[in-house]
Every structure is written in C-alpha cells, then in structure tokens.
Amino acid sequence: REGGVPGLVVHLGAEFTAIEVLPGNRIRAGAGAMDVKLAVAARDAAIAGFEFLRGIPGMLGGAVKMNAGAYGGEISDIFVSASGIDRQGNSIQFGPAEADFSYRHSAIPDDVILTDIVLQGVPGDTDRISARLAEVAAARADAQPVNQRTGGSTFRNPPADLAGGRKAWELIDAAGCRGLRLGRAMVSEKHCNFLINTGGATADELEALGELVRERVKADSGIDLVWEIRRIGLPAGQSRGAK
C-alpha cells in the first residue's frame, strides 16, 4: 500500500533459495526458493507430488504460510516440517499438527519468518513428471493472464455449500464484473478472479476495485468474497507515525 509499512521489511536473500534432495524422496528448500524451481528440482530427482507447484508463482515460504494449492495439489499434501524465527529471535519448528493447515490457511503465526521447509514426495518417472509439468504450465497459460501485471488469484473460493459449488470467478462473472475498470486497475477478461494493473495503477486503485467487486458479488449472490491476496501496509494518506 502507498502509506508504507509501519515496521521492518525483511527480504530473504540468496542464502534462503537453496534446494536439497534428501533420502526417502524428501526435499529441503529455503523459504525463498521459487515454487517453480522446486517443481523442476523434484522432476530432476524423479520425485513426484510436486507438480502442482509449477502453477503457483512466488516463493515457498509464502506458499507454506497460506497452504497454497492448484491443479489438484496443495502444500499440506507434501508438508513434513518447517523452521522459522519469531520476533524475539527464537527458533521455532512446525510439523503438520502445529501448522494446522486448512483451505488457503495455516496456523503459523504472522510474526514468524520461515527459513526452511522439508517436503515429502513419492518415487516417480521423470518423463511422466515432465509431461505433467507441461500440462500444468499450459493450463495456467490458457486460463490465466500470465503475461499481464497481476497479484495472482484475488479472492478465495467460497465454501461449496454456501456458493452452490461455484468458484470465486464464477460469482464475479455472474455479477457482471468481467472487464470492470477503476482508474488504471481492471478485472481480467480472461480470468475474472485476477485484477490487472493496466499501467501505473496504485495499490489504492487495485484495492478499491477489489472492494467494488466484493460489493457487487454480495448484492448479486449474497456471498461475501474473502481476499486471498494479503494486503500489506497502510493506505495512502496515512503516515507511518500516525496514531
């Protein structure tokens, strides 16, 4: 957000991008490792179960924190453990019970910085894994605006029992929001659960457009869409020193 972050921003550098293949079809990776590179490393080691990561942009730490998933898989399916550091400098370990994964959510506290993660795959065939990676990449390119400036999937899919099985994009489309514009922000015409920066859009414009979409979906279907994108910092006009 344009108002800045009232605190310290920590960037995980190259030291946190390492990927190591372990015995027993396990992989240890730094929280800064890219999801796509992890999927490729698993392929090269003939370890299956990581293919869905080919369709998830971003870094592994964030994927673990939100239990990211796509194309038939999610982090909780392959998670073994994670290490992190809290604001007091304490080292903390998380297993599946402590992470307590649910749909696009984990119980890992917000004040913990994840440092490395261990994931479990199964023996696989390199050619078959390669074919699946290609399928995921093609499906993503066909369905999503991968060559435009977006923040990824904007809203979580609502519980099936509340939305009649409809996904977020279907609710947005039914509410007439496909192609909707606000300033330099636009709802994607290709996949309307993506907000596009058409050039120079501010965080305020993108957030306001998202809230407009939520209002229209609520009016049309009665469903409250929940943001999947995590919005960081203060809105424009708010000082970091303001009370």
Residues annotated catalytic, as ranges? 104, 153, 228
List of residues 6+ apart from 201 with CB closer than 8 A: 183, 184, 185
How far is Cα 103 from Cα 98, in angstroms, rounded to an integer?
15
List of residues 6+ apart from 32 with CB closer than 8 A: 12, 13, 14, 16, 17, 59, 60, 61
3-state secondary structure labels for all residues of 150-196: EEEECECCCCHHHHCCCCHHHHHHHCCCCCCEECCEEECCCCCCEEE
Tokens (6 digits) for 179: 């192609």
Tokens (6 digits) for 165: 């099985």
List of residues 6+ apart from 185 with CB closer than 8 A: 195, 196, 197, 198, 201, 205, 206, 208, 209
